[in-house]
C-alpha cells in the first residue's frame, strides 16, 4: 500500500475546507488517490469540525464587518446633519431665517436624505440606522434560535436520552455565549 504525500493530503483537505469540492469521490479523482483514502483522512483530521469552525468564523467576521460599516456610516451621517443644523443655527443668530435660507436648508436636507438612503441601500443596510449594539444583539438572538432549533430536532429524532443530553450539552458548551450560563447549569 503506497503512502501518499503530505502535499496530496493537504490538497484534498483544502478542496474540502474551501468548499470547492465536497464529494469525497471527486476529491479523490482530482488528486489521484482512492476515495477510501480521502475518507480516512477526513475522519482522522476531523475535516467536518474544521469546516464548521471556518464557516462560523467567516459568519462572525461578516457580522463584525457589517456592524462596523453601519457604525461608520451612521457617524458620517451624523456629521453631515450636524453641519446642516449648525448652518441653520448660524442663520438664526444673524437675525432670522429668510425664505431663500429656508429653501437652501430644505434642499440640503433633501439631498442628504437621498444620499443616505442610497448609501445604505448600496451597502445592503437597513434604512432605519440600527446601532452596532442592536446588530450584535440581533445576530446573537439568531444564533441562539438556531441552537434551540438544533436541540429541538435532536430531542425529537434521537431516542437515547443520554446521547441526546450529551449532544445538547456539548453543543451549548462549544457555542460562545458570554451572558448565557446554560452550559454550566446543564452540566450540573
Domain ranges of the chain: 6-45, 54-128, 131-188
In whole angstroms, what is the distance from residue 91 CA to residue 79 CA? 18
pLDDT at 28 over 80: yes
Counting residues of the chain whose pLDDT is more than 70, the rounded percentage is 76
Which whole number is the average pLDDT over 56-61?
84
Rounded CA-CA distance 98/87 in Å is 13
Higher pLDDT, 146 or 3: 146
Per-residue pLDDT tens digits for 124-179: 666 565 555 676 777 778 877 777 777 777 777 778 888 877 877 777 677 665 55
CA angle 70-73-77, nearest 5°? 135
pLDDT band for position 105 (50/70/90)? Answer: confident
Question: Which of 63-72, 114-123, 132-141, 175-184 is predicted least confidently?
Answer: 175-184
| Cβ 150 vs Cβ 171: under 8 Å | yes
Q: Any idea what DSSP says for residue 127?
A: T
Residue 140's closest CA among 102, 175, 108, 174? 175
Model pLDDT, residue 127 = 59
pTM of the model: 0.42
* Alpha carbon distances (Å) from 159 to 65, 165, 166, 187: 41, 11, 13, 20
User: Closest Cα to residue 109, out of 88, 128, 77, 84?
Assistant: 84
Q: Is 179 helix (H, G, I), strand (E, B) or coil?
A: coil
Amino acid at each position: 500500500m503506497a503512502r501518499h504525500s503530505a502535499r496530496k493530503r493537504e490538497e484534498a483537505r483544502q478542496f474540502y475546507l474551501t468548499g470547492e469540492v465536497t464529494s469525497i469521490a471527486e476529491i479523490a479523482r482530482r488528486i489521484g488517490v482512492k476515495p477510501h483514502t480521502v475518507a480516512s483522512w477526513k475522519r482522522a483530521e476531523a475535516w467536518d469540525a474544521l469546516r464548521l469552525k471556518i464557516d462560523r468564523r467567516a459568519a462572525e467576521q461578516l457580522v463584525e464587518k457589517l456592524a462596523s460599516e453601519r457604525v461608520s456610516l451612521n457617524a458620517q451621517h451624523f456629521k453631515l446633519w450636524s453641519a446642516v443644523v449648525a448652518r441653520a443655527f448660524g442663520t438664526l443668530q444673524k437675525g432670522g431665517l429668510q425664505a431663500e435660507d429656508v429653501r437652501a436648508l430644505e434642499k440640503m436636507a433633501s439631498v442628504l436624505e437621498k444620499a443616505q438612503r442610497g448609501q445604505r441601500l448600496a451597502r445592503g443596510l437597513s434604512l432605519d440606522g440600527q446601532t452596532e449594539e442592536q446588530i450584535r444583539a440581533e445576530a446573537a438572538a439568531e444564533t441562539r434560535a438556531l441552537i434551540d432549533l438544533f436541540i429541538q430536532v435532536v430531542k425529537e429524532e434521537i431516542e437515547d436520552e443520554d446521547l441526546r443530553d450529551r449532544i445538547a450539552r456539548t453543543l451549548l458548551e462549544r457555542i460562545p455565549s458570554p451572558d448565557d450560563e446554560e452550559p454550566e447549569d446543564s452540566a450540573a
